[in-house]
Amino acid sequence: MVKELKEQVYCANMELVHKNMVIYTWGNVSGIDRDKGLVVIKPSGVAYEDLSPEKMVVIDLQGKIIEGSLKPSSDTATHLALYKEYPSIGGIVHTHSVYGVTFAQAGLDIPPLGTTHADYFYGSIPCTRDLTEEEIEEDYELNTGKVIIETLGNKDILEVPGIVVKNHGPFAWGTSPGNAVYNGVVLEKIAEMAYRTLTLNSKATPAPQYLLDKHYFRKHGAGAYYGQK
């Protein structure tokens, strides 16, 4: 039904392993076929070495399993909430990578301390608020999606392609499953750089806005000139 997308989602999940972003079953990637209204996502609790394209689960936007014999990721409702809210995204990744989780557990935004950050994220990578006990008991995964949407507010979803969920960990997204993983890996490296910077100098402040603008817009937008034509 969505053979090519299943292959893409499988490869994106395996890229998490290759980039040392996950161990055991600590993460998931999904992708969406907007024309068919179908999402492909990693099955819940299956070790990466046991995955294959055929084991990816196909669901509709209401979470109904359309194809596959395994249960979809336990984070499925979070992914679906984001797909419904943001039509420009084509893939989502969630991990428990060390430095991303470190900022999530500290309840801190990841500040734009330098140009590496600015090359990919326009401004701070935000941290959500705590979910309330009622939100967790009512519908934990769906409300995780809702608090991400609440925190992003009117931000351009592709200018800030990631977030850290308080006490939980990072989610990132992109135009495809592979692009989502790319942004997730960049988020983790940016978080590591920020942590190390703040460890050396707890008073470090964000880079000047004009420098951040220069680096972001030389890679993004109508005036971008980085790379080959």
Q: Give the active site residue among 33, 48, 119, 140.
A: 119
Q: How far apart are CA 118 and CA 113, in angstroms?
A: 8
Q: Give the active site residue among 130, 139, 156, 226.
A: 226
**What residue type is 18 in one-letter code?**
H
**What residue type is 43 in one-letter code?**
P
Sign of CA dihedral 69, 71, 77, 82: negative
Take residue 169 and report the two structure tokens written for it. 């960990």
Q: How far apart are CA 108 and CA 111, in angstroms?
A: 9
Please tell me whether residue 193 adopts helix, strand or coil conformation.
helix
Q: How far apart are CA 159 and CA 32, in angstroms?
A: 20
Cα angle 95, 101, 176 (rounded to 5 degrees) comes to 30
**Sheet containing 57-60: which strands, arranged edge to edge?**
65-67, 57-60, 38-41, 27-33, 91-95, 169-174, 162-165
Q: Is 226 a catalytic residue?
A: yes
For residue 140, the tally of other CB atoms under 10 A from its CB is 14
Beta bridge partners of 33: 38
Catalytic residues: 119, 226
